[in-house]
């Protein structure tokens, strides 16, 4: 079922959903099932599965020369989605990224998703490869989420890359995109970034999932700005509990977000990681209560495939 229909059917009640990472290469799918087993009690209408572009590793040969090898650490997104849908009867939302795909490969991936009965996709540009300072598009692929979105929207109209539109079956993907309440880190300013978000919605995105944030006011302001500017699709807040002190540095650095002083002070005073989990968990519970009061359609948790801290939070809200 489409995410927009799950939200419609909930009739204003806030739903809970989760994002999982594919296991690292060489690990089995059991870790996904274990996580799912723990989260199913919250009746998630959908589960997101992230997509990871190739990185590089360097292999040293006997002659001392280094060979650069393209290597994907976490493959399996599409297969995990299919396995989740088959085993748990829950909709799975694969993340679809520009990086690492030519347009033909994207088309083939979308055909696979369509044949598997996957109704939703989260369309993203993707992160830069480790070692690249900026995002480098794949030759013959897309540079921005807008370009990728256009390809999915084209297929929803029956327009494939090389086939006759009259003879091609339309796909029916419900398309989601990313939104940044605190601005995407590359954008020169908030309004420019917002203009691209509006463009994505005008091009056919039916829901937005936000980058994580730790100040509910940022989400509220973002939603208000969207509504004032003609963006009326559901805006799903992305949430992640703080679990280590180190995240006070890494999260702002990686995700370009602001951690409120009250929270960073409280975390700084913690003696152990268990204390941090307690403080981070309590903060997120309060955030979630505010979001539910504000009418957030879904609370979407970035579990990083470690469901424990998320579970403790959702137990207090469900």
Residues that bind ligand FAD (CB under 6 A): 50-51, 53, 95, 97, 124-127, 144-146, 178, 184, 186-187, 192-193, 196, 209, 211, 238
Q: Which is nearer to ligand FAD, 33 or 196 (CB)?
A: 196
Residue whose pair of structure tokens reads 């993707």 in the numeric block: 126
Classify each residue of 281-304 as buried b or exposed e, where b means 16 or more C-beta atoms within 10 Å of its C-beta: bbbbbebbeebeeeebbbbbbbbe
User: What is the smallest separation between the CB atom of 269 and ligand FAD, expressed in angstroms?
Assistant: 30
Q: Which is nearer to ligand FAD, 73 or 220 (CB)?
A: 73
Residue whose pair of structure tokens reads 């807008």 in the numeric block: 146
Residue 79 CA to residue 116 CA, distance in Å, equals 10
User: What is the smallest separation between the CB atom of 18 and ligand FAD, expressed in angstroms?
Assistant: 12
Q: Which is nearer to ligand FAD, 51 or 101 (CB)?
A: 51
User: What is the smallest separation between the CB atom of 64 and ligand FAD, expressed in angstroms?
Assistant: 34
CB atoms within 10 A of CB 126: 23
User: What is the smallest separation between the CB atom of 166 and ligand FAD, expressed in angstroms?
Assistant: 29
Q: Which is nearer to ligand FAD, 104 or 186 (CB)?
A: 186
Residue whose pair of structure tokens reads 């960073």 in the numeric block: 264
Say how many CA atoms lie within 13 Å of 75 toward its Cβ: 8
Q: Which is nearer to ligand FAD, 202 or 315 (CB)?
A: 202
User: What is the smallest separation between the CB atom of 221 and ligand FAD, expressed in angstroms?
Assistant: 17
Would you say 181 and 210 are in contact if contact means Cβ atoms under 8 Å apart? yes
- Closest C-alpha to 47, from 109, 92, 111: 92
């Amino acid at each position: 079922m489409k995410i927009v229909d799950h939200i419609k059917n909930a009739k204003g009640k806030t739903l809970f959903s989760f994002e999982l990472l594919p296991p690292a290469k060489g690990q089995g799918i059991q870790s996904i099932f274990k996580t799912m087993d723990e989260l199913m009690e919250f009746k998630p209408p959908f589960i997101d599965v992230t997509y990871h572009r190739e990185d590089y590793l360097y292999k040293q040969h006997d002659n001392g020369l280094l060979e650069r090898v393209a290597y994907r650490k976490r493959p399996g997104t599409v297969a995990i989605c299919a396995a989740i849908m088959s085993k748990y009867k829950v909709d799975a939302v694969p993340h679809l990224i520009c990086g690492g795909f030519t347009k033909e490969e994207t088309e083939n991936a979308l055909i696979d998703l369509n044949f598997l009965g996957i109704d939703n996709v989260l369309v993203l540009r993707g992160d830069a490869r480790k070692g690249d300072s900026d995002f480098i598009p794949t030759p013959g692929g897309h540079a921005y989420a807008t370009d990728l979105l256009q390809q999915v929207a084209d297929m929803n109209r029956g327009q494939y890359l090389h086939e006759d539109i009259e003879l091609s079956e339309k796909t029916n993907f419900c398309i989601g995109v990313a939104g940044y309440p605190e601005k995407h880190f590359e954008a020169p300013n908030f309004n420019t970034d917002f203009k691209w978000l509006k463009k994505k919605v005008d091009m056919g995105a039916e829901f937005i999932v936000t980058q994580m944030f730790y100040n509910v006011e940022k989400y509220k302001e973002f939603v208000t700005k969207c509504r004032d500017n003609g963006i009326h699709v559901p805006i799903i807040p992305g949430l992640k509990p703080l679990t280590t002190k180190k995240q006070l540095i890494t999260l702002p650095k990686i995700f370009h977000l602001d951690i409120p002083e009250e929270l960073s002070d409280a975390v700084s005073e913690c003696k152990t990681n268990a204390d941090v989990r307690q403080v981070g968990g309590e903060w997120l519970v309060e955030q979630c209560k505010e979001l539910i009061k504000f009418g957030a359609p879904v609370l979407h948790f970035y579990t990083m495939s470690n469901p424990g801290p998320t579970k403790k939070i959702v137990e207090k809200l469900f």
